[in-house]
Amino acid sequence: MSNSNGLIVKGLTKTYANGVRALNGVHLNVGPGLYGLLGPNGAGKSTLMRTLATLQTPDAGTITFNGIDVIASPDRLRRRLGYLPQQIGAYPGVTGRSLLERFAWLKGRTDRRERDAEISTLLARVNLSDVGHREVATYSGGMLRRFGIALALVGSPQLLIVDEPTAGLDPAERNHFHRVLAEVAAEAVVLLSTHIVDDVENLCGRLSIVNRGRVVAEGAPAELTAPLAGRLWTRTYARGEPIPDDALNVSPTPSGTRAVVVRDVSPGDGFVAHAPKLDDAYHYLLAESRQAEAA
C-alpha cells in the first residue's frame, strides 16, 4: 500500500460533553480487504465508526482516505462511503425497493434505468429479490441486516464501515452476511467493528484491538496469537472448584468451567496444552493494557 492509499487515521481524540474521553489518540492504517476492530463494550468503537463515517467530528487528529482529507472535505468521502450502523432506522410504509431507490437517487443515480438495474443487482446480492416489494418494517432481523448491507452498497463504495453487524443473527444468516462482506472486501476497504472475536478471526486479514479509546494491539490474527504459542494451558473445573484468579479465558462447558491460563511451563494438575486462538490473545492483550494503565 502506498503512503496515501487506504484509510489512515492519526491521533484521533474525542471527549463528549459529559467528560467521557471516548477516543484517546487512535492511530489506524487500513488497506484493501476486511479489517477488524475489536473491543469490549464502551471501548469507543462506535464513536470511531461514526467519526470515520463523517457523522461526528473529532476534537483532534486526522483522517485520510485514498489521499482525501476526510475532516476538511467530508462530502468527498461520502460519495465513496457505505456505512452500516448498529441499527438501521424504522421506515414505516416504505418498501425495500423504494428505500433503495431513494438512497440511489441521493448518491447521484439519476438515470432511472441504471438505478433500477443497480437495485435489482443489490437485492439479488443480499438474497432479497423476492421481498423487495415488501415493507422494510416487515423484514426479520436477518433480512433487515442484509437489507442494511444493500443500502450501504448503493453507489459501489470504496470504503464500507460496518458496526456490530451480526448481533442477533442465526448462524445461517451470519454466514450469508459474512459471505457478502468478503465479496465486497475483494474490491473495497471494509472496516468491521465488533466484539465477536470469532467473526474477526475468520474474516479479517488484520485487526486492531481497542480499549478505553486507544488501540492496544494491531496485527494479523496469527501475529497476535504467536507470542502465546506454547504458553497456554487449559483445564475444566467442576462446579464449586476454585478457578485460578489469573485465568485468561473462562467459559462454561457442559462438563464444567473451562479455564485457560498463561504459564511458561505446564502447571500440571490436569492441565493440557492449548493452542492459542484470537480469543485468548484478545483477553491477554486487554489484561496487559489494563495492567499498564494501572501501573
Q: Which residues make up the interface to ligand ATP (CB under 6 A)?
A: 16, 18, 20, 22, 39, 41-47, 195
Give the residue with the Cβ less far from ligand ATP, 15 or 66.
Answer: 15
d(C-alpha 153, C-alpha 124), whole Å: 12
Give the residue with the Cβ less far from ligand ATP, 37 or 143.
Answer: 37
Least Å distance between CB 192 and ligand ATP? 13
Least Å distance between CB 22 and ligand ATP? 4
Taking the alpha carbons at both ends of the chain, their separation in whole angstroms is 37
Give the residue with the Cβ less far from ligand ATP, 179 or 290.
Answer: 290
CA dihedral 15, 19, 25, 27 (to 10 degrees): -60
Least Å distance between CB 193 and ligand ATP? 7
Least Å distance between CB 56 and ligand ATP? 8
Alpha carbon separation from 255 to 237, 247, 292 (Å, rounded): 8, 18, 35
Give the residue with the Cβ less far from ligand ATP, 164 or 173.
Answer: 164
Least Å distance between CB 63 and ligand ATP? 16
Least Å distance between CB 283 and ligand ATP? 16
Q: Write phi, then psi, for 184 (nearest 5 degrees).
A: -65, -35
Q: Enumerate the H helices of 95-190 as residue ranges.
A: 96-106, 112-125, 141-153, 171-185
Give the residue with the Cβ less far from ligand ATP, 11 or 270.
Answer: 11
With cell 415488501, the residue in question is: 134
Give the residue with the Cβ less far from ligand ATP, 19 or 92.
Answer: 19
d(C-alpha 84, C-alpha 261), whole Å: 37
Using only C-alpha atoms, the chain has a radius of gyration, in whole angstroms, of 21
Give the residue with the Cβ less far from ligand ATP, 18 or 253.
Answer: 18
H/E stretch holding 219: strand 214-219
With cell 493440557, the residue in question is: 272
Least Å distance between CB 148 and ligand ATP? 16
Give the residue with the Cβ less far from ligand ATP, 44 or 276.
Answer: 44
Question: Which one, of 113, 123, 120, 118, lies nearest residue 148 by Cα?
Answer: 123
Cell of 200: 474477526
Least Å distance between CB 57 and ligand ATP? 13
Q: Evaluate whether 7 touches 63 at the Cβ level (below 8 Å).
A: yes
The sign of the CA dihedral 216, 222, 227, 228 is positive
d(C-alpha 33, C-alpha 181), whole Å: 10
